[in-house]
Chain A
């Protein structure tokens, strides 16, 4: 239930707040919940809403997806060393 509420709130934050607020809020949820792999989907959503795509496909154009992917992977290692 908590996860679902976070998902809805994060989606609302993504579509109403500046991009950096979404990134900070996403980061907060990532460390608040045990695992929050859905964050990568929100990265993709942010790229679709706010991305600047050219005619040729390039993975580097999906900047938010890549940022969130890096944050999720790094959180696996950081969480092991942190005590909540």
Chain B
């Protein structure tokens, strides 16, 4: 009696598939371990950094400005002149108050200490990053350390350095979901915890008794006036004993191109 022999090619095919899966898993593990290591991360950021810098140069070059019509530019000029006229008054008052504030601090022996800062260009920002993370072009080469505070528009605190690489650093914004920060709210400087909810927005839970209105200023507790946010909306229901205050940073992260990293905390 003759029996049909088992096909050796079928067995070989099965073996080769198993071998392929094993090789794929081994390669995957090697890649994962390499990428998670400090060396892997440094290499990845070094690889992307030149492309990000090039992208940032193009983004900051305002190429689109060359293609605007004459009428558009005239309209824009008139609009900006009107805006400048309104702001001019505010600047004069602001400077006056700033000088007065400094004089009073001097009288009370509380001089403002000059902080050592370094300017950084933003290479990657939301919406490219999903969690309110910035990548800036200064890193270990400029003595940046984890925990260094980051400010924008001279005195608005926006986040802290969370990871440092050779030529780049990652900045975790305070508005990153779930991040808590102590702030002072309104004229009475009520001390509360602001919780980041993403996209430069925050919320605060407060008892209803605390009076808060739209437009109130939120500052970071310090001797210098560091504006942290402006109240946008106050939500509560009649039966609630708490109110939710929604506010956002005065700085629009999406339009931001440069930040300052405070080296001396």
Taking Cβ atoms with an 8 Å cutoff, the residues of A that contact B are 12, 15-19, 37, 40-41, 44-45, 48-53
Pick from A15, A18, A40, A48: contact of B51, CB under 8 Å: A15
Pick from A12, A18, A49, A51: contact of B127, CB under 8 Å: A18
Determine if A45 and B129 form an interchain contact, defined as CB atoms under 8 angstroms apart. no
B32 at the interface (CB under 8 A from A): yes
Determine if B129 and A15 form an interchain contact, defined as CB atoms under 8 angstroms apart. no
B55 at the interface (CB under 8 A from A): yes
Determine if B35 and A52 form an interchain contact, defined as CB atoms under 8 angstroms apart. no
Query: Given the complex of chains A and B, what is the CA–CA distance between A52 and B176 in angstroms?
Result: 9
Determine if B44 and A48 form an interchain contact, defined as CB atoms under 8 angstroms apart. yes
Give B49's nearest chain A residue, CB to CB: A15
Determine if A37 and B48 form an interchain contact, defined as CB atoms under 8 angstroms apart. no
Q: A25: shortest Cβ distance to chain B, in Å?
A: 14
Give B130's nearest chain A residue, CB to CB: A19
B128 at the interface (CB under 8 A from A): yes
Determine if B128 and A53 form an interchain contact, defined as CB atoms under 8 angstroms apart. no
A-B pair number, CB within 8 angstroms:
54
Query: Given the complex of chains A and B, what is the CA–CA distance between A17 and B48 in angstroms?
Result: 12
Which 3 pairs, one residue from A and one from B, show the smallest C-beta to C-beta distance? A52-B131, A50-B129, A15-B48
| Interface hub of A18, A37, A49, A52 (most chain B Cβ within 10 A) | A52
Query: Given the complex of chains A and B, what is the CA–CA distance between A45 and B24 in angstroms?
Result: 18
Query: Given the complex of chains A and B, what is the CA–CA distance between A51 and B41 in angstroms?
Result: 12
Determine if B28 and A50 form an interchain contact, defined as CB atoms under 8 angstroms apart. no
B133 at the interface (CB under 8 A from A): yes
Determine if B35 and A44 form an interchain contact, defined as CB atoms under 8 angstroms apart. yes
Interface magnitude class on chain B = 20 to 34
Residues of B within 8 A of A37 (CB): 24, 28
| Interface hub of B52, B129, B172 (most chain A Cβ within 10 A) | B129
Q: A37: shortest Cβ distance to chain B, in Å?
A: 6
Query: Given the complex of chains A and B, what is the CA–CA distance between A51 and B48 in angstroms?
Result: 15
B31 at the interface (CB under 8 A from A): yes
Determine if A12 and B24 form an interchain contact, defined as CB atoms under 8 angstroms apart. no
Give B40's nearest chain A residue, CB to CB: A48
Query: Given the complex of chains A and B, what is the CA–CA distance between A52 and B124 in angstroms?
Result: 14
Residues of B within 8 A of A52 (CB): 131-133, 162, 172, 176
Q: B190: shortest Cβ distance to chain A, in Å?
A: 29
| Interface of chain B residues 114 through 156 with chain A (CB within 8 A) | 124, 127-133, 135
Determine if A51 and B44 form an interchain contact, defined as CB atoms under 8 angstroms apart. no
Q: A4: shortest Cβ distance to chain B, in Å?
A: 15
Given known contacts A50-B129, A53-B163, is B28 in contact with A15 (CB within 8 Å)? Answer: no
Query: Given the complex of chains A and B, what is the CA–CA distance between A50 and B31 in angstroms?
Result: 18
Q: B212: shortest Cβ distance to chain A, in Å?
A: 29
Give B54's nearest chain A residue, CB to CB: A16
Q: A26: shortest Cβ distance to chain B, in Å?
A: 15
Give A52's nearest chain B residue, CB to CB: B131
Query: Given the complex of chains A and B, what is the CA–CA distance between A12 and B51 in angstroms?
Result: 9
- Cβ contacts A to B, 16 pairs, < 8 Å: A15-B48, A15-B52, A18-B127, A18-B128, A19-B127, A19-B130, A37-B28, A41-B35, A45-B35, A45-B44, A49-B44, A49-B45, A49-B124, A49-B129, A51-B131, A52-B133
